[in-house]
């Protein structure tokens, strides 16, 4: 939570803040689950500018953090520095003459769905931060731009293999014919090996 009491609801009043917060746990994760994100409890550095306007407080800021994930090509762990800019309006609730919040008028729900209100002079920045950080993260993270990935045939890491790593391609259209040729070759060998004893017997009879 951030306090706006120092601004005093004076339009034009300005406040600058530098703060470090911890990344939240699930379900409010700063990232894409199973792909990349800022680990729970990791520091998130904030530079904020709070400006009081007639409607509320306009918050402009930058978030910096280190995300961790897995390369989509080679599956190795990686770290990614995140810089996310954001801006959000936090509105003052309508108040009556005694400063109490008024009940919303019928039909106002649809118009106020995207409005974030300041409550008791405080506003919660976490949902805004989460959206900003997630949008700043790569959806297809790689350990480096020229990562070669894994071999589709054997799964070897091509970054660690020799440049000439390859597998002999087999044309599936000829695979059946190759199998038939191999079986015929084996049959010929068996036939020849079976003829040898008969030739030997013929030679013996001739000698007699």
Predicted confidence at residue 99, as pLDDT, reads 39
Q: What average pLDDT does the segment 74-100 reach?
A: 81
Predicted confidence at residue 98, as pLDDT, reads 37
More confident residue, 166 or 110: 166
Predicted confidence at residue 155, as pLDDT, reads 75
The model's pLDDT over 23-56, given as tens digits with 9 standing for 90+, comes to: 998 777 899 888 899 999 999 999 999 999 988 9
Rg over alpha carbons for the chain, rounded to the nearest Å, is 36
Q: Phi, psi at residue 193, to the nearest 5°?
A: -70, -30
Look at residue 125 and give its three-state secondary structure.
coil
Give, in degrees to the nearest 5, the angle at Cα 32 between 45 and 41.
Answer: 40
Predicted confidence at residue 62, as pLDDT, reads 97
What's the token pair of residue 42?
């990791």
Question: Percentage of the chain surpassing pLDDT 90?
Answer: 41
Predicted confidence at residue 65, as pLDDT, reads 97
What's the token pair of residue 56?
């509320």
Omega of the bond leading into 20 within 30 degrees of 0 (cis): no
Predicted confidence at residue 28, as pLDDT, reads 78
What mean pLDDT is reported for the chain? 79
pTM beyond 0.85: the answer is no
Predicted confidence at residue 29, as pLDDT, reads 85
């Amino acid at each position: 939570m951030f306090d706006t009491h120092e601004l005093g609801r004076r339009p034009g009043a300005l406040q600058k803040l530098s703060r470090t917060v911890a990344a939240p746990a699930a379900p409010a994760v700063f990232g894409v689950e199973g792909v990349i994100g800022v680990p729970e409890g990791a520091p998130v550095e904030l530079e904020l500018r709070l400006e009081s306007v007639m409607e509320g407080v306009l918050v402009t800021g930058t978030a910096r953090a280190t995300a961790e994930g897995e390369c989509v090509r080679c599956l190795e762990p990686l770290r990614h520095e995140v810089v996310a800019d954001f801006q959000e309006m936090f509105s003052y609730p309508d108040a009556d003459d005694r400063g109490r919040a008024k009940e919303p008028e019928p039909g106002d729900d649809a118009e106020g769905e995207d409005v974030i209100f300041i409550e008791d002079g405080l506003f919660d920045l976490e949902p805004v931060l989460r959206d900003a950080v997630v949008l700043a993260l790569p959806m297809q993270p790689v350990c480096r731009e020229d990562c070669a990935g894994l071999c589709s045939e054997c799964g070897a890491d091509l970054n660690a293999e020799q440049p000439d790593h390859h597998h002999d391609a087999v044309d599936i259209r000829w695979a059946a014919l190759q199998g038939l040729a191999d079986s015929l070759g084996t049959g010929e060998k068996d036939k020849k090996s079976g003829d040898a004893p008969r030739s030997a017997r013929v030679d013996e009879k001739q000698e007699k």
